[in-house]
Amino acid sequence: MTAKEFPATLGALKRSGYRSKSVKEELRDNLLARIRGGGPLMPGVIGYDETVLKQITHAILSKHDILLLGLRGQGKTRILRKLAEFLDEMIPIVAGSEVNDDPMAPISRYAQELLAEKGDDTPIEWIGRDQRYGEKLATPDVSMADLIGDIDPVKAFHQKIGYGHEGAIQFGIIPRTNRGIFVINELPDLQARIQVGLLNIMEERDIQIRGFRVRIPLDILMAFSANPEDYTNRGNIITPLKDRIDSQIITHYPRSAEAAMEITRQEAWLERGSQVKAMIPETVRLIIEQIAFEAREDKDYVDQKSGVSARLPIAAMELLASAVELRGALTGEAAPRARLSDLESVVPAITGKLELVYAGEQEGPANIARAMVGKAVRTVFHKHFQDPYNKKEKQPEANPYYPVVSWFEKGNSLTLGDRMTDAQYRKALESVPEIRKVLSMGALDAKALEKDKDGETLWLELLLEGLHLHSRLSKENLTEGFVYRDMMSDILKG
């Protein structure tokens, strides 16, 4: 139906053959149509196809209200907003209705009286999906008037009607979302007495305002998000309300590094239109994602009940790109490449997104952040290189890393500066004798590394950093860079 074909009166709407559907029938029909079409269920929602999205599909097909339960940064709000895409593009309402009255079945006194007066000449308006989605962040100060409505004395005075008249009602956000989707985020933060006020909506599908005999049946899908941590720290979901929410769906963090990288690639602001374009190799992207994975597994310092948001690698990637962009501006390079040494720039993205236990607080957020970065680099190192501590090798010379380690043991050092160009940085790394030979000997798949010409410098840097993280080399941070030296010599020198 084009804009010109939208009927403007009730009579024209009837002649068009329009049939009213409940919002849950509408969602169900449009979801089935998308599934038959074979496209992605929720474009932009990654890593949930076989888990959360499948359960949401079942819930919508069952005409259920929904609760998404999960830790922070798991995409709950994004998923709930995507539900609006399953609504019809446009629907008709009685013109001037505050509660989106269906012209075929009006529920408010205003619409009923208008239809009684004008019949088939009743004017019709058309509203889109965005006008049928309502959302409220639950906070302790949310009132019943905000959600459902209240009697407005000023409105009653101007219309010269009594307080018991329906026309005196100032409707809240829920009835104004009639024939649509209403979402409450962080449900446990809603005071228990306010949650009680939702019971009638969930079960009877009507609203009651104060002591007046006003009963308006609503056609609405109710959806909620909640964090399990809130059940003990700030509030809880009252049992009768949980009982009325048909489907409770547990969300989760990305279960693979590939899915996590895809999310970050989608969300991080990297295409900046700048004269300097930061080039970030896939291995560095993997390390950024691995930081979050390491933090989610660390029970010694990180509070696992709070979770580690997917926003961490997104913010970290943006900071990393900025560090590389800044270096390019200083050195005059148009396309500088990210290095492992640039990972120091991501610390501020980590410190604000990790809830630490007591031991972590004692260590300090910045130290824990750097430790997570180190663990991530170490994990990625093991994906590509042999373990520097190979106990099967009885002779030190048999260790594939021996030529490099022995060079540092002779008192040599390697200084790498933050403001070196990519060419200078690579030349400095290649100044370590036999480092390319060691790279091939230590690599689990030497041929794959040889083919990756764009990542040559990074592999050399990862080799040295891996030896440092395994205590085979020492590393000292300088004002504008750092220096690798022999570990034992540094220990003896104090």
Integer Cα distance of 461 and 443 in angstroms: 13
Where in the sequence is the domain holding 412, given as residue range(s)?
Answer: 391-494
pLDDT of 478: 85
Number of other CB atoms surrounding residue 306 within 10 Å: 17
97 plus 240 within the same structural domain: yes
230 vs 267 pLDDT, higher one: 267
Arithmetic mean of pLDDT, 217-229: 91
The token pair at 193 is: 């007495």
Whether the Cβ atoms of residue 57 and residue 31 lie closer than 8 Å to each other: yes
What mean pLDDT do residues 475-485 have? 90
Same domain assignment for residues 319 and 428:
no
pLDDT confidence bin for 39, thresholds 50/70/90: confident
List strands edge to edge, sheet with 481-486: 414-417, 481-486, 473-478
More confident residue, 459 or 228: 459
**Hey, CA dihedral for 235, 238, 239, 242, is it positive or negative?**
negative
Closest CA to 319 of 295, 293, 351, 294: 351
User: Residue 214: its pLDDT value, please?
Assistant: 65
| 401 and 263 belong to one structural domain | no
Question: Is the same domain home to 411 and 317?
Answer: no
Question: Could you say which of 209, 227, 250 is where a domain stops?
Answer: 250
203 to each of 181, 200, 222, how far by Cα in Å?
16, 5, 11
For range 64-89, the mean pLDDT:
95
pLDDT of residue 232 exceeding 60, the answer is no
154 and 285 in a common domain: no
Domain boundary among 231, 250, 269: 250
45-49, 137-141, 395-399, 433-437: segment of lowest average pLDDT: 395-399
Res 277 pLDDT > 60: yes
Asked whether residue 236 falls in the same domain as residue 262, the answer is no
Q: What is the pLDDT of residues 318-369, one digit of tens each?
A: 999 999 999 999 999 999 999 999 999 999 999 989 999 999 999 999 999 9
- The enclosing domain of 369 has a CATH number of 1.10.8
Q: Do residue 418 and residue 441 come from a single domain?
A: yes
Please give the structure tokens belonging to residue 460: 């050399």
> How long, in residues, is the chain?
494
Contact indicator for 353, 312 with CB cutoff of 8 Å: yes
CATH of the domain at 221: 3.40.50.300
Asked whether the predicted pLDDT for residue 79 surpasses 50, the reply is yes
User: Exposure string (b/e) for 380-410, b if CB count within 10 Å is 16 or more?
Assistant: bbeebbbebeeeeeeeeeebbbbbbbbbbbe
Residues 197 and 332 in one domain: no
Residue given tokens 């689990």 in the structure block: 444
Tell me which amino acid residue 392 is.
K
Q: How far apart are CA 142 and CA 60, in angstroms?
A: 28
> What pLDDT score does 36 carry?
95
- Band (230; pLDDT cuts 50, 70, 90): low
Same domain, 212 and 115: yes
Model confidence pLDDT, tens digit, residues 143-162: 888 998 877 776 766 666 76
Buried b (16+ CB within 10 A) or exposed e, 351-372: bebbebbeebeeeebeebbbbb
* 444 and 406 in a common domain: yes
Instruction: Check residue 213 and give its pLDDT.
Output: 61
Please tell me the predicted confidence (pLDDT) of residue 236. Answer: 85
Tokens 């403007």 identify what position?
Answer: 8
Higher pLDDT, 387 or 2: 387
Mean pLDDT, rounded, of the chain: 90
Q: Supply the pLDDT for residue 474.
A: 94
Model confidence pTM above 0.85: yes
Residue 188 vs residue 165, higher pLDDT: 188
Instruction: Give residue-wise pLDDT tens across range 385-421.
Output: 999 886 555 666 778 999 999 999 999 999 999 899 9
Instruction: Judge whether residue 244 has pLDDT over 60.
Output: yes
* pLDDT score of 118: 95
For the chain, the domain total comes to 3
136 strand-pairing partners: 184
Overall average pLDDT of the 32-58 stretch: 94
Domain boundary among 359, 384, 409: 384
Regarding whether 238 and 90 lie in a shared domain, the answer is yes
Question: Which pLDDT score is estimated for 2?
Answer: 45
| 68: DSSP letter | E
On whether both 275 and 235 belong to a single domain, the answer is no
